[in-house]
Amino acid sequence: MLQFHSMKLINVIANATLEERLIGIAEAHATSGHTVLEARGAGSAGLQTGSLEGGSNILFMLIVAESKLDEVMADIQKLMRRGHHLATFVSDTQVLRPEKFIS
């Protein structure tokens, strides 16, 4: 039988110009890695198609141990307080190899 391990998945939808700052947050908390995807859609800020220069969005994904969640989210919240528009959500996730996500 497979053994799964509980972790937290942080998803941040942000303007692509914030990618380096989000990577900096991940690195500052010694996370083992992250994933960045292009993101398009519609929401409270309107339609985001990525067709305008500087208008593209990313989905930044980061898996962390629950013990790191609050400190990582506090730094993400600092970006929001500086006026950056982020859609951020956290969910429970299960992984097969927890050592891959712990540095």
The domain limits of the chain are: 5-100
Assess contact for 31 and 62: CB atoms under 8 A: yes
Residue 51 has what pLDDT?
53
The mean per-residue pLDDT over the stretch 61-81 comes to 96
| 90 or 100: which leads in pLDDT | 90
- Which residues pair with residue 14 across a beta bridge? 58
Residue 56 has what pLDDT?
87
Average pLDDT, the chain: 88
Give me the numbers of helices (H) and strands (E) for the chain, helices first please: 2, 6
Whole-structure pTM value: 0.86
Torsion of CA 39, 32, 72, 7, to 10 degrees: 90
Q: Render pLDDT for 12-60 as a digit per residue (tens, 0 to 9).
A: 999 999 999 999 999 999 998 899 999 887 766 665 555 555 568 999 9
How big is the chain, counted in residues? 103
Residue 47 has what pLDDT?
57
Domain 5-100, CATH: 3.30.70.120
Sheet of 87-95: strand order equals 35-39, 57-64, 5-15, 87-95
